[in-house]
Amino acid sequence: MKKIINNPNDVVSECLKGIELAHPELKYTPELEVISRRNPSPGKVGIVSGGGSGHEPAHAGYVGKGMLDAAVAGNMFSSPSPDRIIAGIQEASGGAGVLLVIKNYSGDIMNFEMAAEMAEMEDIQVKHVIVRDDVAVPDSTYSTGRRGIAGTVFVHKIAGAKAESGGTLDQVQAVAQKTCDNLRSMAMAMSPCTLPAVGKPGFSLGDDEIEIGMGIHGEPGVARTTIKPAKEIAQILLDKILDDYDFGGSEVALMVNGLGGTPLMELYILNNEVGQLLAAKGIKVYKTLVGNYMTAIEMTGCSLTLLKLDDELKALLDAPCDTPALKI
């Protein structure tokens, strides 16, 4: 294992301290591993997300004006505990309620729900949405139902914009739910990732082997096959998404996401292929994001995400946001 770390037990806190140093507008809460806005817009609905660490820039990288008010980090690939989540809720609470954006993993759901119940005992109104964008498998190692992956970033963006524009908690939840309902993703992995405390890869893939549909913690996908040209990878991932949901004739937001170890050059090559395939199907790409938005430590591979847009979602997607990992 070669990693730029000190003690494996300190990777989460040291990463978040590094974020705070680089972005003085963000505040790090030690021990509770929360990154929050120093000066959130007053009186608005708070948006909180989080989950296991190892998916950087998610989730702390999306804290800032127009997106999250607080991100709560668990240990590597492990849900944050309710005490941490409550701290995030308290940081984000401006009196108008708090929306939790949760990825669909059993540990995350149990911990966020418990935190929500406890925050409500302190008279903070809390609602949540659960992101289940990964079409690969119906159930998975750590989830009942579909997993939440890169599409979560679109939910952060749209919920954050709605909250920034003065939406009520119900309105913010409704538009976040609409985003979840119109969101589909599919991933592919080419090499494994190594948890710092474990020191060796969590699974293995042959030199010329890829796994279609693998999760962002290395959970099993749908098939292993040999590496293929970008054109075919685009086709495989997109077919699975388009088989699952009718995007025909619609306008979409597209994310070509890297899992941490894949160069941007390859992601742009993939985007070129995806763009052509979508055009051929009469699906218009309204906005494209290409980059490492939801990673699995140093895993190589990618995911594609499509979000079907209407006028409301377009306007919220175009609204300004200023965070370390996304600026619009």
Partner 1 sequence: MGFALTASDYAQWIARAYQKIHENGDYITSLDAATGDGDHWINLNMGFEKLVSIKDALASKSLFEAFKSISMTMMSVIGGSGGVLYGSAYMEAAKAVKDLEVLDSAALCNVLAAMLDGIMKRGKSQPGMKTMIDALNPAVECYKDCIARGESEAQTLKLVKKAAEEGALSTKDMEAVRGRAYYQADRGVGHLDPGAITMFYQIETLMDYIADKMQDEA
Site residues, partner 1 (CB under 8 A): 74-75, 78-84, 106-107, 110-111, 113-114, 141-142, 144, 220
Catalytic residue numbers, as ranges: 55, 217
Quote the least distance from Cβ 176 to partner 1, whole Å. Answer: 23
Single-letter amino acid, residue 44: K
Helix (H) or strand (E) holding 251: strand 251-258
The tokens 């597209």 sit on which residue? 254
Query: 12: which residues sit within 8 A by CB, 6+ positions away?
Result: 33, 53, 73, 74, 75, 76
Single-letter amino acid, residue 58: A
The closest of 211, 223, 224 to 299, measured between CA atoms, is: 211
Q: Which is nearer to partner 1, 80 or 258 (CB)?
A: 80
Q: Which is nearer to partner 1, 53 or 257 (CB)?
A: 53
Q: Which is nearer to partner 1, 134 or 164 (CB)?
A: 134
Q: Which is nearer to partner 1, 81 or 168 (CB)?
A: 81
Other Cβ atoms within 10 Å of 113 Cβ, number: 17
d(CA 255, CA 275): 11
Checking DSSP bridges between strand 26-29 and strand 46-53, what pairing results, if any?
unpaired
d(CA 40, CA 229): 45
Quote the least distance from Cβ 122 to partner 1, whole Å. Answer: 14
Quote the least distance from Cβ 187 to partner 1, whole Å. Answer: 17
Other Cβ atoms within 10 Å of 313 Cβ, number: 24
Quote the least distance from Cβ 296 to partner 1, whole Å. Answer: 16
